[in-house]
Homo-oligomer: A and B are copies of this chain.
C-alpha cells in the first residue's frame, strides 16, 4: 500500500503545497478539520504585524497599515471561495457570536414568526445560540431530523439554520433544495459553513442563500480561535439589522455621536474593535487556500478519504462508518463508530496519528488535502489497524478523559 501511496503522491498536482505548511514533526495530522495546520508564511506575517505595525507604527497603523479595513479585506478574499460577492462577506468575532447576529437579524425580518428550525445533533454552538434568544422570548427552537426537514418548515418558521457539512458525520446537506423549500414557505436560511469553507466548493449565491457563517481556524488555517466570517446576501443588506450594535458597525464610528446609525451593507455586522493579530493570521491562511483552489482541494480530499477506506479494508479491518460512503455526499472527513472510540483515538495520538473523538462513540478523521500525502494515509490506516489488532487502546492511560476531547 505504501508503494501505491507513493505513486499517488508523485502524481498529486497539490504535492508542492505541503511545503508551504510548517508540518509538525513525527505527526500524521488528521485533524485539520478541527484546527488547521500552520502556514509557513504566518509567523513572518505576524512578526511584521507585531514588531512593525504595532511596535513601530503604533496607533497610526489603523490607517497606515489599513488595520481598519482588515475585516472587509479578509471577508472579500473568502467570498469567492463560498460563492459570494466580495461585499457580502466580512471576517469578525467568533462563529458563535456571528450566529447570534444573523439568527437575530432573521427573526427581526420575519415579525410574527419565532421558530428557528435546525436538526438534532447539529454542532452544539449552533443549537445553543438559539437558547439565549429563547430566554429573551424572541425565538423558539424546533428540531427536525434531516429526512423530515423540508416538511418541518411551516409558516411559523422564521429561519432554517443548518450546518452544510455535518461536523460529526461529514454528511452534506443539499443547500439549493433546502434553501428553496424554506423560501417557498417564507422562511430565511442561514448556512453554517464551518466544515465547508476552504474544504469544498460552496455556491451561496447560486443556492440563493440568505445568510451564512463560517470558521476561520479549520480549513482556512487561521490559527487557534481565529475570527469567524459571515455572509449577508446583497438583497438583504438594506433591511438587515442585528442587535450587537457596536461602534465598528456604525455608519461613522469616529464621529463619536451618541446615537447608533448602522453602517452601509455588511459593515453593520461588525461590533467591537477588530482583533488584528487573529485577522492577520487568518488572512495568510485564506490567501494560501485561495491560491490552491477549493475545487482541487476537494478532489484530493475525496481521493485521500477513499484511499484510506481501501487501505483499512485491505488490512481486513471492519469499522462502522457513519459518514456517507459516496464521497460526493460528504465533506473532507470520515467518521467511524466504535464504543471505545475515545481510547482508540488516544492510542492513535500516542502513535503520532492525530484524529479526534466526538462524544459518545465517534472517531473522526479529517483529510485536509493541502498538507496531507497519500503516504500519510497509508501509514494512518496501518496504525489504526495495529491499534485495533493489538488491543493497545485498552491501556488505562488511553481511557482517561482530558479537558478538551
Measured CB to CB, the residues of A under 8 A from B are 22, 24-25, 27, 29, 31, 34-35, 37-38, 42-43, 46-47, 50-51, 53-63, 67-69, 93-97, 99-100, 104, 108, 120-125, 127-129, 131-133, 135-136, 138, 143, 168, 217, 223-228, 241-248, 250, 253-260, 271-279, 281, 349, 354, 356, 358-359, 402-405
Given A46-B277, A123-B247, A224-B277, 12 extra CB contacts under 8 A? A67-B224, A93-B97, A96-B246, A96-B247, A100-B243, A122-B258, A135-B243, A136-B243, A225-B277, A226-B275, A228-B272, A254-B405
B224 touches A97 (CB 8 A): no
On whether the beta carbons of B254 and A96 are closer than 8 Å, the reply is: no
A38 touches B51 (CB 8 A): yes
A-B contact pairs, 29 of them (CB 8 A): A25-B56, A31-B59, A35-B58, A35-B59, A43-B50, A43-B51, A46-B46, A58-B354, A59-B354, A62-B224, A62-B404, A93-B93, A120-B258, A124-B250, A125-B272, A127-B258, A128-B245, A131-B260, A132-B241, A135-B243, A135-B245, A223-B276, A225-B273, A227-B275, A254-B359, A254-B405, A255-B359, A256-B358, A277-B278
- Contact A223 B136, CB 8 Å, known A56-B24, A100-B243, A359-B256: no
Give Cα distance in the complex from A129 to B260, angstroms.
Answer: 9
Cβ–Cβ contact B128 & A246, under 8 A: yes
**A279 and B128 alpha carbons, distance in the complex (Å):** 24
How distant is the Cα of A135 from the Cα of B95 in the complex, in angstroms?
A: 23
Q: Hey, which chain B residues are within 8 Å of A281, CB to CB?
A: 50, 277
A138 to B284 Cα, complex, angstroms: 40
Query: Contact between B93 and A258 (Cβ–Cβ < 8 Å)?
Result: no
Please give me the residue from chain B that is nearest to A133 by CB atom. Answer: B243
Q: Pick the contact of A136 from B138, B257, B258, B259 — CB < 8 Å?
A: B138
Q: Given the known A-B contacts A104-B136, A277-B224, are A404 and B254 also in contact in the complex, defined by CB atoms under 8 Å?
A: yes
Contact partners of A43 in chain B: CB under 8 A:
47, 50-51, 55
Q: How far is the CA of A358 from the CA of B104 in the complex (A)?
A: 33
Question: Given the complex, which residues of B lie within 8 Å of A67, measured CB to CB?
Answer: 224-225
**Closest approach, in angstroms, between the C-beta of A163 and any C-beta of chain B?**
13
Q: Tell me how far the C-beta of A158 lies from the nearest C-beta in chain B, rounded to whole angstroms.
A: 14
Q: B245 touching A131 by the CB < 8 A rule?
A: yes
3 closest cross-chain pairs (CB), A and B: A94-B272, A132-B243, A96-B246
Given contacts A100-B243, A272-B97, A349-B60, contact A224 B131 (CB under 8 A): no
Are A54 and B224 within 8 A (Cβ)? Answer: yes
User: How far, in Å, is A108 (CB) from chain B's closest CB?
Assistant: 7
Of the listed residues A67, A133, A258, the one surrounded by the most CB atoms of chain B closer than 10 A to its CB is: A258
B residues near A349, Cβ cutoff 8 Å: 60
Question: In the bound complex, how far is the Cα of B137 from the Cα of A104, in angstroms?
Answer: 13
**A225–B96 CB distance below 8 A:** no
| Contact between B50 and A31, CB atoms less than 8 A apart | no
Closest Cβ of chain B to A355, distance in Å, is 9
